[in-house]
Chain A
Amino acid sequence: MAGLRLDGLRKSFGSTEILKGVDLALADGEMLVIVGASGCGKSTLLRIVAGLETPTSGRVLIDGRDVTDLDPSARDVAMVFQNYALYPHMSVFENMAYGLKIRGLPRSEIRAKVDAASALLGLEALLERKPRQLSGGQRQRVAMGRAIVRDPKLFLFDEPLSNLDAKLRVQMRGEIRRLQRRLKVTSLYVTHDQVEAMTLGDRLLVMHQGVPVQLATPTEVFERPADTYVAGFIGSPAMNLLPGILGRNGTMVRVADTDIDLGLRRFDRPDGHPVILGIRPEHVRPDASGMTWPVEVVEHLGSEMLVHAGRPGDASLTLKTANGAAVSDTIQVAFPAAHLHIFDQATGLRIKA
């Protein structure tokens, strides 16, 4: 087991810069999830760590050893691919044994390792099958098994669950988490799915256009997003972001002629500073004495409803409520001070109280 360190990693394809300087350190046994929209550079980052791409500049250190210029085979990493990448002409056993065979392990040792891994993953009955005779979930398990038998220094996951159906995805998500905890292998997990990101990672790295924007625990990222991008990306439905102006010595934000009190917190910016007020849909509270918004669409989710409100050509507001009586052509809402996030309008960065 070992840690991973990335130093000033940059990567350009032609004139397009995909990674604009990534520094990262993973503790031994830690699981870090890299999350971001497609094209943010997260897969490229993973492939550089695997050795499938060479960085334009910067270094990759596994277990303190500089592996930047080493072939993937010399890095002692294992990777689980999105499409599983099983060898179609080999049986499940051969798929798992291949990496060990290449390393020249004796036959009996290979047998023992593959048996142990297949027992762990419930693949014992499938060892003689070919990949095409397996279901999606089984293929996924074989891909995991191929990584586990190698007993590598580092696990790399490249969106491994995105080809599975929703139910299986939830199940495999749990399995991956349990396995990783049990084997305590340092892992890097790339996904665009924020639920996977929130549930799997010890820590989360949110990437946006080749730049790491926030590195923190899932709770921290959810409760204190570093900027408006993270605020809008993590959480579903997305956080409401309303432009406003700071006032009353940084204790109030004026949004469309309504003064919204920020409670006991005081934000250190001059009055009149343009800010963005953030509040999650589940925190917006219907309140007869509150701000009035015209209702556009109501989505019924069963136990509660999702209300989309807004003035044409102006900011829109989404809220979650179980109180159907409060919803008509318009809705009056209040913004509880404790759940408000304040961001700088110019930079998008979070303003601390």
Chain B
Amino acid sequence: MERRTLFPGRLLPALLIMPQLVLTVVFFLWPAIQAIKSSLEREDAFGTSTEFVGLDNFADLFADPLYLAAIGRTAVFCACVTAASMGVALVLAVLADTEIRGRAFYRTMLIWPYAVAPAMAAVLWVLMFHPQIGLVGAWLNRIGIAWDYKLDGTQAMALVILAAAWKQISYNFIFFLAGLQAIPKTIIEAARIDGARGFRRFRTILLPLLMPTVYFLLVVDLVYAAFDTFATVYAVNGGGPGQSTQTLVLKVYLDGVVNANVGSSSAQSVVLMAGVIVLCALQFRFLGRKAAT
């Protein structure tokens, strides 16, 4: 039976949800409405006058090859971050799920990166891969690989993917490990007695039973990579060299705040907002399905 506490009157319930409502209005609804309003306006270069231009900003946006390139770049970035962080996390979770000495220690250590601030994570990777002072970066140059993420766009992209994926491994690891431990031991024992071993057992028994977790993390990781990696990417190279690591969130910031093109930046925000809404709807569907089974 469902337990419910009923509050008398309307004042107390209203008071209790007020803090959350205030936060939502001030930090989400109000800026969102501002963004939608600005996305329909054009401001002159000095910020002295604005005029209503309808959907012109959006039309300009999707006619702009630079914006389309940023969409493609973001897609690649999201796919790589999601694949890398989920793949590594799954391998680590499978290894940590076995009976080994000191596994509590390993598990704790593997969860730590989640507590590292995004900008700090970026700095960690920069310090490792800096072409002159970075341990790995300097070594790469010494063995004859021309490594400099500040000059080479592809290398810069690889580095931001590494930094962003590394941050998310912990989160995925926790969910994969919990998912693996939720699989009844006797099912795995039945598979052992049936003769299934190693990778085959993983592919035919563990992975299918882990699929709800995989779907869930897929959506969460895509949302993370697309919208939650600003600090990491910005701290590595500020979107450069050139525009080679400029993802959509970075472009909103650079166009709006740095280059003061408020109309275009707002239109980009609105597009991103639509993306978030779609992904969140997907996420809720999967969460709902998970709860139903």
Contacts and interface: CB of A to CB of B under 8 A. Distances in A.
B15 interface: no
A285 B3 CA distance: 56
Given A71-B192, A73-B192, A85 B187 contact: yes
Interface string A152-178: 000000000000000000000000000
Contact of B193 (A72, A86, A89): A72
A151 to B, nearest CB: 13
A294 B186 CA distance: 51
B288 interface: no
B193 to A, nearest CB: 5
B244 to A, nearest CB: 43
A102 B189 contact: no
Chain A interface extent, by class: 20 to 34
B291 interface: no
A98 B184 contact: no
A321 B193 CA distance: 50
A89 B208 contact: yes
Contacts, number: 60
A81 B196 contact: no
A188 interface: no
A187 B227 CA distance: 60
Contacts of A98: 191, 194, 196, 204
A99 interface: yes
A98 B201 CA distance: 11
A102 B208 CA distance: 17
Contacts of A226: none
Nearest to B192: A72
B79 interface: no
Contacts of A88: 187, 209
Contacts of B187: 85-88
Q: Which of A50, A52, A72, A79 has the most CB of B within 10 A?
A: A72
A153 to B, nearest CB: 12
A81 B184 CA distance: 12
A353 B208 CA distance: 64
A103 interface: yes
Nearest to B200: A102
B195 A99 contact: yes
A73 B200 contact: no
A52 B192 contact: yes
B194 A77 contact: no
Interface in A133-158: 146, 150
Interface in B155-180: none
A73 B196 contact: yes
A82 B187 CA distance: 11
Q: Is the interface of A mostly helix, strand, loop or mixed?
A: loop
A45 B290 CA distance: 37
A73 B191 CA distance: 9
Contacts of A89: 208-209
A277 B194 CA distance: 50
B186 A85 contact: yes
A78 B195 CA distance: 10
Given A85-B187, A85-B190, A87-B191, A102 B196 contact: yes
A88 B194 CA distance: 15
A91 interface: no
Interface string A72-109: 11000111011101111100000000110011000000
A150 B196 CA distance: 13
Nearest to B194: A99
Interface string A102-137: 110000000000000000000000000000000000
A99 B192 CA distance: 9
B189 A81 contact: yes
B223 to A, nearest CB: 27
B190 A81 contact: yes
B188 to A, nearest CB: 9
A80 B204 CA distance: 20
Contacts of A146: 190, 194
B194 A102 contact: yes
A292 B200 CA distance: 71
Contacts of A150: 194
A275 B204 CA distance: 60
B193 A78 contact: yes
11 contacts: A72-B193, A72-B195, A73-B193, A73-B195, A81-B186, A81-B190, A88-B187, A88-B209, A102-B196, A102-B200, A150-B194
Given A81-B186, A102-B196, 14 more contacts: A50-B189, A50-B193, A72-B189, A77-B193, A79-B190, A82-B186, A85-B184, A85-B186, A87-B187, A87-B190, A98-B204, A99-B193, A102-B195, A150-B194
